[in-house]
């Protein structure tokens, strides 16, 4: 192979423009391929970050399987798992990944304001730790419920703006709702804070899950466990572990829990990016093919000039395999050299193009990401170009008659 590189540089000196133009075709083709793949990888990373911000990709949701369907009819199970703080602690201690878990219970009910006006409520009871804490800007009036109050089951709640307006009536302001009581589940809780809401139909409240134990008409809570993994790459493995953990703990219950993740968004993104990558790769591949034709042209020209040399080699014992190997090595060497400079060109183009595209397009953020897959693709392309476009010239050289070749 080293002699092949030596022959390539020798040809480059002897037939500079012909060899340079053939290598230039590969440089441009591979450069375009590298620039395209790096930009697509950057867009994929940006899209993943956007999805992660809006859908909590690192979360695993665990829900007790409390019912089953028989001929399409849902029926309650006689025996079902009840998720509580003790089970959550045991699961998290067993989980071989760094994670936090929060229990939440969502339901709805009719509530009553201090003047006995009915109000439909969306209710969430929650435990610690709060995985998605409210930003300070979301709190309009009052205060949030402290960790100690959540743990002790303090009879406090957070209410949306719409609930606050119903509580104070037409003559009051939402701030006046602080300290007043909302009646539901046969009991009443004090409003500690008012949360901003842009939805006119958002009549929601939130309060400590532990407070439900003292509410006379509260339903038996069937909370959902939200597990937040420290690393999004552990989500699927954690889901598999969690299902196995519950099966081992409750062997008498068929499928004791149901689990779900948000990784489906990533799978859809990966499929879309993959299709786009293949389409663009096919289009840019045309330029690479043109470069390969240039390699074939240089080799045919080299064979014509080195015909006597080939004849001498065959006369002194070189067989067909030796000749084919020589010219295939030269073809691969030309492709490798072109691919190397193509990678450098592609990197330069990508770093120049990204900021320009960011100035033109406001909705997206173009980044340059060079992955192992990009380098692997370029390496395979270089090898394929050398083999595919070097095979015909190599076979032609190997088929020369040694006597006729020496006479030329």
Confidence (pLDDT) at 15: 63
Does residue 19 contact residue 11 with C-beta atoms inside 8 Å? yes
**What is the band of 405 on the pLDDT scale with cuts at 50, 70, 90?**
low
Determine the average pLDDT of the residues in 236-247.
95
Confidence (pLDDT) at 124: 96
Range among 130-134, 174-178, 320-324 with highest mean pLDDT value: 174-178
In this predicted structure, the answer to whether residue 404 has a pLDDT above a threshold of 70 is no
In this predicted structure, the answer to whether residue 4 has a pLDDT above a threshold of 70 is no
Identify the helix (H) or strand (E) that includes residue 109.
strand 99-112
Q: Is the peptide bond before 129 cis (omega within 30 degrees of 0)?
A: yes
| pTM assigned to the model | 0.61
For 184, the 3-state DSSP assignment is strand
In this predicted structure, the answer to whether residue 258 has a pLDDT above a threshold of 90 is yes
Identify the helix (H) or strand (E) that includes residue 141.
strand 139-142
In this predicted structure, the answer to whether residue 55 has a pLDDT above a threshold of 70 is no
Confidence (pLDDT) at 381: 78
Q: E strands within 185-243?
A: 187-195, 204-208, 224-229
Determine the average pLDDT of the residues in 11-17.
61
Confidence (pLDDT) at 3: 57
Q: Tens of pLDDT along 113-140?
A: 999 999 999 999 999 999 888 888 899 9
- Residue for token pair 């840019």: 284
Strands 204-208 and 118-126: parallel
Q: E strands within 230-307?
A: 257-261
**What is the band of 161 on the pLDDT scale with cuts at 50, 70, 90?**
very high
User: Alpha-carbon torsion 85, 86, 92, 95, what sign?
Assistant: negative
In this predicted structure, the answer to whether residue 402 has a pLDDT above a threshold of 70 is no
Convert 314-350 to b/e letters by CB count within 10 Å (16 or more is b).
beeebeeeebbbbbbbbbbbbbbbbbebbbebbbebb
Determine the average pLDDT of the residues in 336-355.
87
């Amino acid at each position: 192979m080293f002699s092949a590189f030596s022959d390539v540089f020798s040809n480059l000196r002897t037939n500079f423009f012909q060899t340079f133009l053939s290598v230039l075709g590969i440089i441009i083709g591979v450069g375009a391929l590298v620039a395209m793949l790096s930009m697509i990888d950057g867009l994929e990373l940006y899209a993943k970050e956007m999805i992660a911000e809006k859908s909590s990709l690192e979360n695993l949701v665990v829900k007790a399987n409390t019912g089953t369907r028989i001929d399409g009819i849902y029926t309650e199970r006689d025996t079902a798992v009840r998720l509580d703080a003790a089970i959550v602690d045991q699961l998290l201690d067993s989980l071989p990944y760094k994670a936090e878990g929060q229990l939440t219970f969502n339901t709805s009910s009719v509530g009553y304001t201090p003047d006995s006006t009915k109000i439909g409520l969306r209710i969430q009871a929650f435990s610690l730790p709060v995985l998605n804490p409210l930003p300070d800007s979301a709190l309009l009036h009052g205060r949030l419920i402290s960790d100690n109050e959540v743990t002790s089951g303090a009879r406090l709640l957070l209410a949306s703006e719409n609930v606050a307006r119903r509580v104070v009536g037409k003559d009051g302001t939402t701030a006046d709702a602080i300290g007043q009581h909302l009646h539901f589940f046969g009991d009443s809780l004090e409003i500690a804070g008012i949360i901003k809401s842009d939805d006119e139909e958002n009549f929601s409240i939130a309060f400590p899950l532990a407070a439900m134990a003292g509410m006379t008409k509260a339903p038996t809570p069937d909370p959902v466990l939200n597990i937040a993994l420290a690393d999004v790459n552990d989500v699927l493995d954690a889901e598999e572990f969690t299902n196995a953990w519950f099966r081992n703990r409750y062997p008498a219950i068929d499928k004791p829990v149901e689990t779900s993740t948000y990784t489906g968004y990533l799978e859809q993104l990966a499929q879309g990016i993959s299709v786009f990558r293949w389409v663009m790769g096919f289009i840019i591949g045309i330029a690479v093919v043109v470069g390969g034709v240039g390699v074939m042209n240089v080799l045919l020209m080299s064979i014509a000039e080195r015909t006597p040399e080939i004849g001498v080699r065959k006369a002194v014992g070189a067989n067909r395999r030796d000749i084919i190997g020589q010219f295939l090595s030269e073809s691969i060497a030309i492709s490798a050299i072109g691919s190397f400079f193509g990678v450098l060109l592609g990197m330069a183009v990508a770093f120049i193009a990204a900021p320009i595209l960011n100035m033109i397009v406001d909705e997206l953020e173009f980044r340059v990401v060079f992955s192992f897959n990009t380098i692997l693709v370029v390496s395979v392309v270089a090898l394929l170009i050398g083999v595919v476009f070097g095979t015909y010239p190599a076979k032609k050289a190997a088929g020369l008659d040694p006597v006729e070749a020496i006479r030329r």
